[in-house]
Structure 1
Amino acid sequence: MADKQTIDFYDEQSDAYVELVETLPQDPTLESFIAALPAGSRVLDLGCGPGHCAARMRDQGLLVDAVDASAAMVQLANEKFALGARQATFSDAFEPGHYAAVWANFSLLHAPAEQLPAVLASLFSCLQDGGLLHISMKLGEGTARDKLGRFYAYYSEDELRSHLSSAGFEVVDVQSGELMGLAGNKEPWIALLGRKA
């Protein structure tokens, strides 16, 4: 189940979030993700936010289904980029074998830790054989709310590798760094690219 307090935050603070996103440098994980996919590949952007990544993927020739749990984010994505984004949560079902790839960029970190295995199993199902799953998370332990009230689940690299492996993915790339978030903290992050084995 989606965390209502976190969704409410993104609904109420969508403009502030857009301002932050627009100050960030180009994401190298997004560029390598796009480069790994043939033009015309269908991609699910799970937690699309205001649509910047989905628009970049579309402009590079990918067919993008953009979804977000926040109605305000969906509206922004559609107003700014005409993405045809729709509202959906992690627990919603997606058509089996429909996607060549899933882009879950700093979205699954808002899912309760106990739900992550089921979410990964659902994403495994919606991917074609050999399909790619990008997930990026904040590194750490346990769960917490930031000072803005957003729920986060934190993981180590080993935990994420284990979750992906258990879901049937082979980890083919790992990248990490630090990023200044909306709450004003610089935090370590990790991005893993899994391939449906």
Structure 2
Amino acid sequence: MSFEQELTLQYYNDNAQKFAENTQQVDFHHIQQAFLSYIPAGGHILDFGCGAGRDSRYFLSCGYPVTALDGAEQLAMLAETYIGQEVVRQSFLDFAEINAYAGIWACASLLHLPWNDLQLVLEKLALSLHRGGIFYASFKYGDFAGMRNGRYFTDMTEERWQDLVQDMTIWKTIKMWVTADVREGRSAEKWLNILCKKHP
């Protein structure tokens, strides 16, 4: 793990309670439902970088089995209380599962990986999906890469995403769309949302 990634994890451990307060109650249903519309009933979902547990809790309330995973210990502890089940503590780079999930939800999590690690983790995530499985990710919109506000970020545009996955024939991009940040006072911040399907 790079020094920048260690700093990022430390940021989330140091600010876990504040982060939970800012994210757990945010209404994200329109994007959650866009993802769920592709997931079969009872399909197992991996919440990859679950943060304080907002999305895991919603998916569980809709009747889907969920595995929640995060690398920040303090966030994982808060998420466990919030969703009422165990959260896997694991670095994204250490993740390795095969054919385990119908869907993977990576909301504002992969954006903390540098480019080369991002490619590697995307390949690992593809292996963990069932054939035809669905993948969602979101990134801050733009072409910046580096430290910002105590954390490492890789921002994304439609063009950068196509460059990232152009040699990964296993991913078929279903749609990409840009939304405003839903947190109070942050509507000027833009996000790139990506839905993909494991192909074939």
TM exceeding 0.5: yes
Correspondences of 1:37-116 after superposition (within 5 Å)? 37-116=39-118
Rate the CA distance shift 1:69–1:60 in 2: closer, same or farther, 3 A: same
Does structure 1 retain, via aligned residues, the 8 Å contact 2:48–2:104? yes
Among 11, 14, 22, the residue aligned to 1:12 = 14
> Which residue pairs with 2:155 in the alignment?
154
Identity score, percent: 25
Runs of 4 or more, structure 1, over 4 Å off, are 180-185
> Which residue pairs with 2:179 in the alignment?
177
Structure 2 gaps of 5+ residues are none
Query: Please, which moves more after superposition, 52-61 or 137-146?
Result: 137-146
Q: Give the deviation of 1:163 after TM superposition.
A: 2.4
Does structure 1 retain, via aligned residues, the 8 Å contact 2:156–2:192? no
Letter in 1 for 2:122: L
Letter in 2 for 1:30: Q
Q: Distance in 2 between matches of 1:105 and 1:68?
A: 12
Q: Distance in 2 between matches of 1:63 and 1:112?
A: 30
Q: 1:73-92, CA deviations, whole angstroms, 9 ceiling, x for partnerless residues?
A: 11001112213111112112
Structure 1 gaps of 5+ residues are none
Q: Give the deviation of 1:139 after TM superposition.
A: 1.3
Rate the CA distance shift 1:4–1:185 in 2: closer, same or farther, 3 A: farther
Q: 1:9-34, CA deviations, whole angstroms, 9 ceiling, x for partnerless residues?
A: 11111111111114523342111112
Q: Give the deviation of 1:39 after TM superposition.
A: 2.1
Q: Distance in 2 between matches of 1:142 and 1:114?
A: 15
User: 1:163 and 2:164 equivalent?
Assistant: yes
Does structure 1 retain, via aligned residues, the 8 Å contact 2:52–2:79? yes
Rate the CA distance shift 1:140–1:101 in 2: closer, same or farther, 3 A: same
